[in-house]
Amino acid sequence: MTSRSVYLETFGCQMNELDSELVLGQLRQLGYRLTGEAADADIVLYNTCSVREHAEQKVWSRLGELAIRKKEQPGLVVGVLGCLAERDGTALVKRMPVVDVLCGPGELDKLPSLIDNAVRTRTALLADETPYQRASDRSASQIALQGSASRRSAVLAAAEDSLEMLDLSRSVSPIDPDPDRPRSSAYVRITRGCNKFCTYCVVPFTRGAEIHRPPDHIVDECKRLADAGVIEITLLGQTVNHYRFEHGSAVAVNGVIQPQKGRSYAGGHRRDPFAGEQTTTFADLLARIHEEVPSIQRLRFVTSYPRDFGDDVLEVIRQSPRICRYLHVPAQSGSDRILQMMNRGYTVAEYLEFLDRARQFLDQPEIGRPLMLSGDFIVGFPTETDEDFEATIALMRRARYKNSFIFKYSPRPGTTAINKYKDDVPEAVKRERNTRMLALQNEIGEEIGREQIGREFSVLIEGLSRRETKKRARQAPAPGTVSLTVSARTAPAGEAAADDSACDSGCGSGPKCSSAVVESRPEVATEVSSEPVQLTGRTDGDQIVFLNIPARSESGRTAVSMVGEIVRVRIESAQALGLSAVLL
């Protein structure tokens, strides 16, 4: 056991948030103390994203600051985890010797031993220090990277998948900061990696090949989370609707069924062609979780790949009252020529056909369940002309997303696009296209918002609104105020790309780049005030709702005690960032 303290900051998508949660759970079980202040920590870890350059810059600047701090605190252990570590490998340590631990996303189960070795190595370096060789200038160099080649090995399916143990070890309740207020939302990974190789994207290189977790493991995890008080689960995968587990070829190691490599097949089907008794398709998995874990009141999944989205999945969603009417289906571009250069594998017509089909099955405003869509777009992809861009604008108008994540193309080392295509759209043009799309998305989002006025919805209260949090931060805490952490999930994830809180990482599937420090929950105070408290929550279509609630009701109930609950509301008005509602 150790009494060392760990600070972990997360950049990027929900997958990274989940990885951080699992890693912290493991470190906590080993006796590490978790701290929300980097300055207090013996071990500083960054879980990184390399989807866009901007997200990387933040990490480089943090590392630069730590290099200065290490001169004063040479025993400090610094770790870079995640996609940047995997992509840059040892070159990262050469560039930044302040880094002691490098751990790719496929090796996170090894992190505790890497940290332990790094702590010991730093002690040895300190003992060996000479005026010419300062310990603070040397890395303890503990490295675990998978390298994309190893994950593509033909024997993978037969090998023990130790990363699965990290998911299985999930410490469901101890990670919660406030035992009196169990959190209500959680992520559950169903697939890892990606086989799509979109030409701009680093994910297949940093997270490796698509791997599907055994359905029993997923269902058990959902049950354990439900037992711990979770009522909303978001299933995660880069192409989440590609999930399939073929039981006939399942491999067990020491009695534990191992995750399975995704099979490649020609898409365009309406039903999973491998469906049958020996297979758990994505539709089967959704139906299983819905049936076997009824206390999960909201089941979501991100991110969906538009091609191969079968009617089987849409049917299950339609039949299942607790599966949310929300699909995040990135289009990336509205130009067939650009889509082809991106290797997206569908045309605009096919994409729109899917949206029409999804709406036919799932858009039921008459029963209070409109279908809400969100999308991702990349503007300024190499050779993108005004005409291509106008086609993207037309697609956005036609698709009517409630929100979109819009990114300027960022050439990524190691991808096909950076090697094959010149980044020839000037930055000013990318910026202008980005601004135009955001403006259009805001317009459409507001229009969709106005359509909801007068409608009644169930809303899961997630926490204080950003405005309320800022208001409280400005007010000095009253003497005797008790500080309490409340939130159903990471700070209200704005309709990110349509406001200034957009994820810097370009993750798209992630609502925002959270500086998810330890528990990633906003702090609020439970002072008794006569002023109403602004809470925020989401409809099952993932629309943000603001509610102004008396700080304390006549029955004595405080507004913040509603966090984590599902309440019925009526929408009164709509703004760019969300809907305002009254409690019913």
* Dist CA 44 CA 172 (whole Å): 23
Kindly tell me which residue out of 52, 70, 170, 196 binds ligand SF4, with binding defined by CB under 6 A.
Answer: 196
* Dist CA 511 CA 534 (whole Å): 21
Task: State the nearest-atom distance from the C-beta of 509 to ligand SF4, in Å.
Answer: 8
Task: State the nearest-atom distance from the C-beta of 521 to ligand SAM, in Å.
Answer: 24
* Dist CA 174 CA 22 (whole Å): 11
Task: State the nearest-atom distance from the C-beta of 241 to ligand SF4, in Å.
Answer: 11
211 touches, from ligand SF4, ligand SAM, none (C-beta below 5 to 8 Å by class): none
Rg (CA), the chain: 24
> Which pairs with CB-CB distance under 8 Å and at least 24 residues apart come from 361-369?
361/311, 361/314, 361/315, 361/317, 361/318, 362/314, 362/317, 362/318, 362/325, 362/327, 363/325, 364/325, 365/451, 365/455, 368/455, 368/456, 368/457, 369/325, 369/540, 369/541
Q: Do 268 and 332 form a contact (C-beta atoms < 8 A)?
A: no
Q: Do 103 and 81 form a contact (C-beta atoms < 8 A)?
A: yes
Interface region with ligand SF4, contact rule CB under 6 A, candidates 200-208, 212-220, 347-355, 532-540: 200-208
Tell me the DSSP string of 119-186.
Answer: HHHHHHHHHT--SSS-GGGS---EEE--HHHHHT-TTGGGS--HHHHHHHT--TTTT-S-TTS---EE
Kindly tell me which residue out of 145, 156, 194, 302 binds ligand SF4, with binding defined by CB under 6 A.
Answer: 194
Which CB atom, from 304 or from 452, has the smaller least distance to ligand SAM?
304
Q: Site map for ligand SF4, 302-331, x if CB under 6 A? A: ---x--------------------------
Helix (H, G, I), strand (E, B) or coil at 582: strand
Backbone φ and ψ for 103, nearest 5 degrees, come out as -145, 115
Which CB atom, from 82 or from 463, has the smaller least distance to ligand SAM?
82
Structure tokens given for 271 = 């039903």
Instruction: Report H helices in 343-465.
Output: 348-362, 386-399, 416-420, 427-451
Structure tokens given for 313 = 């999945």
197 touches, from ligand SF4, ligand SAM, none (C-beta below 5 to 8 Å by class): ligand SF4
Task: State the nearest-atom distance from the C-beta of 382 to ligand SF4, in Å.
Answer: 16
Interface region with ligand SF4, contact rule CB under 6 A, candidates 61-69, 109-117, 193-201, 218-226: 193-201
Which CB atom, from 194 or from 577, has the smaller least distance to ligand SF4?
194
409 touches, from ligand SF4, ligand SAM, none (C-beta below 5 to 8 Å by class): ligand SAM
Considering only residues 222 through 281, tell me which ones interact with ligand SF4, judged by CB under 6 A.
238-239
Task: State the nearest-atom distance from the C-beta of 188 to ligand SF4, in Å.
Answer: 18
204 forms part of the interface with ligand SF4 (CB under 6 A): yes
Please give the angle made by the CA atoms of 42, 47 and 50, to the nearest 5 degrees: 145
Which CB atom, from 463 or from 506, has the smaller least distance to ligand SAM?
506
197 forms part of the interface with ligand SF4 (CB under 6 A): yes
413 forms part of the interface with ligand SF4 (CB under 6 A): no
Which CB atom, from 244 or from 369, has the smaller least distance to ligand SF4?
244
Give the interface with ligand SAM as residue ranges (CB under 6 A).
Answer: 13, 51-52, 200-201, 203, 238-239, 303, 305, 330, 332, 376, 378, 407, 409-410, 412, 506-509
Which CB atom, from 127 or from 266, has the smaller least distance to ligand SF4?
266
Task: State the nearest-atom distance from the C-beta of 196 to ligand SF4, in Å.
Answer: 4
215 touches, from ligand SAM, ligand SF4, none (C-beta below 5 to 8 Å by class): none
Please give the angle made by the CA atoms of 186, 187 and 193, to the nearest 5 degrees: 170
Residue 57 CB neighbours (<10 A) = 11
204 touches, from ligand SAM, ligand SF4, none (C-beta below 5 to 8 Å by class): ligand SF4
Task: State the nearest-atom distance from the C-beta of 194 to ligand SF4, in Å.
Answer: 3
Helices (runs of H) and strands (runs of E) counted in the chain: 17, 26
For 202, which DSSP code? -
Q: Do 140 and 117 form a contact (C-beta atoms < 8 A)?
A: yes
* Dist CA 105 CA 83 (whole Å): 6
Which CB atom, from 121 or from 332, has the smaller least distance to ligand SAM?
332
For 551, which DSSP code? S
172 touches, from ligand SAM, ligand SF4, none (C-beta below 5 to 8 Å by class): none
Please give the residue ranges that form the binding site for ligand SF4 (CB under 6 A): 194, 196-198, 201, 203-204, 238-239, 305
